[in-house]
Amino acid sequence: MQHRWLFAALALTPAAIVLPVHAVVYMSAEQARAALFPQAARFDEIAIELTPAQQQVLDQALGVATKPRRVQGWTARDGAGKLIGQILLDEVIGKYELISYAVAFGADGAIQAVEVLAYRESHGQEIRLPAWRKQFVGKKTLDELRFGEQIKSISGATLSCRHVTEGVQRLATIQRTVLAPR
């Protein structure tokens, strides 16, 4: 009789085992800030709550209704206080998990770099490869950021590529329509 309980307990043990999560944090937002604009003498925090009018402009530009969200990041300035660029932070869903990333915009509004800060999926880490991220450099407009055309996918990481590209499109539109006019 005692053996039955032992076997029952052993049979249920695998159900209690938790599968490992494949989260990898590559750098903090502050480390990305220093890497993206090493020449900056100071960083001023950016925190934007889109107004309904700004949200409407964003949705019209992207051609899809987006979820209102707070946009955070920094403005990078040199020693004289001159604008060097801006960094915006965001998170998107890959296939199942969040991907945290940062986009650096030059003073002219062109994308200077995209950095993956944390990747939590079990597959698709290839979006961290410099060759894939380099596709965004120099782009300013949504016409230059079309997924599958100007921005190519990576086999096995299609959803991560698509969703990060959509996030970069969103941030580029916010940078152009909200931050640049300031």
Helices then strands, each counted (H, E), the chain: 5, 6
Q: What is the pLDDT of residues 28-79, one digit of tens each?
A: 999 999 999 999 999 999 999 999 999 999 999 999 988 877 899 999 999 9
Residue 138 Cα distances to 8, 111, 145, angstroms: 62, 5, 10
How far apart (Å, rounded) are the C-alpha atoms in residues 103 and 88?
5
How far apart (Å, rounded) are the C-alpha atoms in residues 98 and 80?
38
Sequence ranges of the domains in the chain: 21-179
Q: What is the pLDDT of residues 159-181, one digit of tens each?
A: 999 999 999 999 999 999 998 86
